[in-house]
Structure 1
Amino acid sequence: MNAEEQVQAPGRVVVVGSLNMDLVVRAPCLPQPGQTLTGTRFVTAPGGKGANQAVAAARLGAQVSMIGCVGDDPNGRALRQALLDDAIDCEGVRILPDVPTGVALITVEEAGQNTIVIVAGANGELATEHVDAMEQALLGAQVVVCQLEVPEAVVGHTLARARALGKTVVLNPAPAAGPLPAQWLPWVDYLVPNESEAQLLSGVPVAGRDGAEAAAQALLQRGAGKVLLTLGEAGALLAGPEGVQHFPAYQVSAVDATAAGDTFIGAFAAALAQGCAEVEAIRFAQQAAALSVTREGAQPSIPDRQQVLAWPW
């Protein structure tokens, strides 16, 4: 069974993570230190790695519950409503008084690459008790997804609880600052870093295919179930006990890479939750991510399932 043929009831995905309002500037190039540029466009759009991945999973076929925090302010209300508009269960999205909603300051250059600076705001207030209060959602899920834009204690708690419940656990280690806590990786079924994150986590230089494989193997040796390393235009690499498999990228004309990785992870989680085979879930995720970079913005760029299946791959 593959992602395109999937007709059974949608699987369930729980995403524990961040919600940010994205403040996006388009410019001719990315600024150098000390440089002032004249931008060409400014927009605000819902974002945050957790929310983006939740939206991607929902649009691409899963029933989704989101666990996170926003401030009691216009940005927070807009972010929560954006999730509701995609039929995402927001019972676990707490609205906190006297704490600003998280923001991301994003610069996008003409070729589609970006730089991002995040201010955590309410995301930094997410606590383990917020996760525990959503135990029924965790029990009903096939897949649980985490990232690193919320407190480390919450991520570790969620990974451990999801593993104890026998769920498929997906960890996107972004933004990565260095090696993960040693006890985390044995709780993770799929560790999904990009090249720079894999290098930071493993300590192995990621230069070309050989470097990517060496970094993935190092992370496997530390306990990860499988490593799914995204390589941008070079595709993706899956490393596990059975060996290493490379997946070439789909070729499109990129406009904006914002949320491409989040789209990949949300699509991958949705496909796994629906019972797709691993290889087909990866290919479906690549298609969704490729389509997302042909559009501007974070959540506005994320396609739905029918758009992915209708694209002439």
Structure 2
Amino acid sequence: MVEFDVVVVGSINTDMSVFTSAFPNPGETVIGSEFVTGFGGKGANQSVAAKLLGCKVALVAKVGNDGFGGSYIAHLKKTGINCKGVKETSDAGTGVAFITVVRESGENRIIVVPGANMQLSLSDINSADRQGLLNSRVVVCQFEVNAAATLHALRLAQSNGALTILNPAPPPVPSTERGYFELLPELLAASDYCCPNETEALQMIHRCASSVTTVEGGGDGVSLLPDEFLTCLDWLAEHGVKQPMITLGSKGVAILLDSSEVPAGLPVDVTIVQSRKSRKDSTKGVVLLLSAPHVPNVIDTTGAGDSFVGALAYFVSSHPHLGTLEHVRRALWVASQSVRKVGTQSSYPNRDELHPTLFEASVFQWPSADK
């Protein structure tokens, strides 16, 4: 019996955010307008985003035996997330993220000190599995904890029949303590879904692909999607990812779908990306560009990618009949609403704040972004 809809294996960080009018140049000091502390970390963010939409969620993570860790566990429990897989350690402090946000645009730059996140071990994953935490409908992982533990979690989840979602962030770097670069082929092979953002997709291609065949654009596709993104989608699929996609910020999401999953009548916000390499006769499927909703008055984009991943996990686990295209479209809508508030988890919409057809209709029609 499946106890949880979504289980997230990942990071917990305390966010320390500074708001300013512009990013400082090297050697420059600028004056900030506000300083805010909050709850962050990709793993915790994604678990909260999924929980707020109405599914049963558990988190597997590690915090320091300090004030940050204790207050974070209390916060997660208050949110309704099962924390029996969250362990404490005295060997490192709770992870911390330092975030700079430009007020006018909402753009951000982030430095993360992983701390206890890197202490998450294979034995912790085995313990979580014995407790039934990896026997769920969907298991989500990122690149902010120990790489070997992440791979072990993905493999155990698949062996238990769960669908796996990999958010490869931050991007893998050769010869670092985290070890994701060396394990990347195995991590991708254990992932049903993989959703890097633009930066992560390009860095994976440039750093990790020793030989790739560039897919050249053509027709309308030249303006819709750079050739390197087409190449990355194919590269992810060749490494075993069943549903590769790239999140493109305010431009939306590019996804490679099997042609059998592409409906005859596409929603107005979805465009088929053409290329000189014929995709009609290819087993690789069709690349679609899902446009993001226009959001007036963007406040803070921090954590929007985690909102998308958490929402995707929710829709995959709770509405499997809708299919991948609708799962991604709806997750994109949820994420678009998160940029209208300050913060990460504090910006994530609750189910009651969203249009009811998001959870009901067979094809979701975007309401006005102001509703």
Query: Would you say same fold, with TM above 0.5?
Result: yes
Q: Note if contact 1:255-1:293 (Cα within 8 Å) is conserved in structure 2.
A: yes
Q: Note if contact 2:39-2:345 (Cα within 8 Å) is conserved in structure 1.
A: yes
The answer as to 2:294 corresponding to 1:244 is: no
Aligned to 1:309: 355
Aligned to 1:104: 97
Q: CA deviation at 1:229?
A: 0.8
Give the secondary-structure state (helix, strand or coil) at the position aligned to 1:265: helix
In angstroms, what is the RMSD of aligned CA positions?
2.1
Per-residue deviation, residues 132-187 of structure 1 (Å, max 9, x unmatched): 11114335410000000001111111111112122110000000134552222121
- The separation in 2 between residues aligned to 1:224 and 1:213, in whole angstroms, is 14
Q: CA deviation at 1:50?
A: 0.3
The answer as to 2:67 corresponding to 1:74 is: yes
Q: Which has the higher contact order (CA 8 A, sep 6+)?
A: 1
From 42, 53, 59, give the equivalent of 1:49. 42
The answer as to 2:239 corresponding to 1:222 is: yes
Give the secondary-structure state (helix, strand or coil) at the position aligned to 1:138: coil
Aligned to 1:171: 166
Q: Note if contact 1:138-1:144 (Cα within 8 Å) is conserved in structure 2.
A: no
The answer as to 2:296 corresponding to 1:255 is: no
From 199, 205, 208, give the equivalent of 2:202. 199
- The separation in 2 between residues aligned to 1:98 and 1:151, in whole angstroms, is 14
From 145, 155, 162, give the equivalent of 2:157. 162
Q: Note if contact 1:11-1:273 (Cα within 8 Å) is conserved in structure 2.
A: no
- The separation in 1 between residues aligned to 2:258 and 2:327, in whole angstroms, is 18
- The separation in 1 between residues aligned to 2:230 and 2:353, in whole angstroms, is 32
From 79, 86, 93, give the equivalent of 2:79. 86
From 119, 122, 139, give the equivalent of 1:125. 119
Q: Note if contact 2:6-2:140 (Cα within 8 Å) is conserved in structure 1.
A: yes
Aligned to 1:285: 331
Q: CA deviation at 1:240?
A: 3.5
Letter in 2 for 1:88: I
Give the secondary-structure state (helix, strand or coil) at the position aligned to 1:163: helix
Give the secondary-structure state (helix, strand or coil) at the position aligned to 2:300: coil
Distance 1:156 1:11, change over 3 A: closer
Structure 2: stretches of 5+ with no match in the other structure:
174-180, 207-211, 216-222, 260-285, 357-366
Per-residue deviation, residues 256-295 of structure 1 (Å, max 9, x unmatched): 0110000000000011110332222112211111110000
Q: CA deviation at 1:22?
A: 0.1
Letter in 2 for 1:123: N
- Deviating more after overlay: 271-280 vs 108-117: 271-280
Q: Note if contact 2:4-2:133 (Cα within 8 Å) is conserved in structure 1.
A: no
For the pair shown, the structure with the greater C-alpha radius of gyration is 2
The answer as to 2:70 corresponding to 1:26 is: no
Give the secondary-structure state (helix, strand or coil) at the position aligned to 1:255: coil
Correspondence list, 1:139-150, <5 A: 139-150=134-145
- The separation in 2 between residues aligned to 1:141 and 1:164, in whole angstroms, is 11
Aligned to 1:5: none
User: TM-score under structure 1 normalisation?
Assistant: 0.92
Q: Note if contact 2:245-2:256 (Cα within 8 Å) is conserved in structure 1.
A: yes
Question: What is the aligned residue count?
Answer: 305
Q: Note if contact 1:49-1:147 (Cα within 8 Å) is conserved in structure 2.
A: yes
- The separation in 1 between residues aligned to 2:115 and 2:123, in whole angstroms, is 18
User: TM-score under structure 2 normalisation?
Assistant: 0.78
Q: Note if contact 1:191-1:228 (Cα within 8 Å) is conserved in structure 2.
A: yes
- The separation in 2 between residues aligned to 1:274 and 1:137, in whole angstroms, is 19
- The separation in 1 between residues aligned to 2:19 and 2:100, in whole angstroms, is 6
- Deviating more after overlay: 74-83 vs 206-215: 206-215
From 249, 266, 269, give the equivalent of 2:310. 266
Aligned to 1:181: 184
From 57, 61, 74, give the equivalent of 1:64. 57
- Tell me the percent identity: 38
Give the secondary-structure state (helix, strand or coil) at the position aligned to 1:183: helix
